[in-house]
Amino acid sequence: MADIRDEVTDDRGAIKKLQLLFPGYHGYRVNEDLRDADIYLKDEIYKFMLNINESVKKIENNLVSQGLFQYLEKLGILRSNIQEIAERIKHHEAGYSGISAAVRVTPEKLNALYDLDIKIYENLTNLKNNIEQMVADSLMGRFDLGKYNQVLEEIVGIHDLDSSRNRILYGGI
């Protein structure tokens, strides 16, 4: 995935470029662009996760058509976990700190949030590949419990990454 921060910077209009010239607005403009990039990235992650859930539904449909009902509960748990993480990511704050906030959200923190979301996106790519393998297996009437457990572990890893967001905002950096 291309770095959205560069795209946001390149798409600055005349007013945004003018804001960069004034000391009072320069920091504001830079931070807003970083927030916008992370918002766009989170939106892409959300859409990607919904797409992954559609693939899990394909597995369910394939198994039902083959009469393999015993795995539907496991797939329901999988879809629920993916949906829960997708909703959390979709509703994360964008790192605003306000005029006199107790916690200052610096450009370093905003970049760290973006980098965290990139790691989540990369992990989702691996997750998507494994689920696509499960889709192919389900077309042949197979359900690999080892692959299922691997997918669950990947989801836990994505959840743990996402949970580190508060440490970036309120601790560390």
Which is more confident, 33 or 114?
A: 114
The pLDDT value recorded for residue 152 is 96
Write the pLDDT tens digit of every residue in 53-95.
999 999 999 999 999 999 999 999 999 999 999 999 998 866 6
Measured distance CA(108)–CA(111) in Å, rounded: 5
Which is more confident, 102 or 106?
A: 106
**Is the per-residue pLDDT at 121 higher than 90?**
yes
- For range 12-33, the mean pLDDT: 68
Q: Model-level pTM?
A: 0.83
- For range 40-51, the mean pLDDT: 95
Which is more confident, 39 or 4?
A: 39
- Mean pLDDT across the chain: 86
The pLDDT value recorded for residue 158 is 96
The pLDDT value recorded for residue 14 is 61
The pLDDT value recorded for residue 4 is 72
Query: What value, to the nearest 5°, has the Cα angle with vertex 125 and ends 10 and 73?
Result: 135
Q: How confident is the model at residue 16 (pLDDT cuts 50, 70, 90)?
A: low
The pLDDT value recorded for residue 173 is 47
Distance of CA 55 to the CA centre of its chain: 17
Q: Residue 42, class by beta-carbon neighbours within 10 Å (0-12 exposed, 13-18 middle, 19+ buried)? A: buried
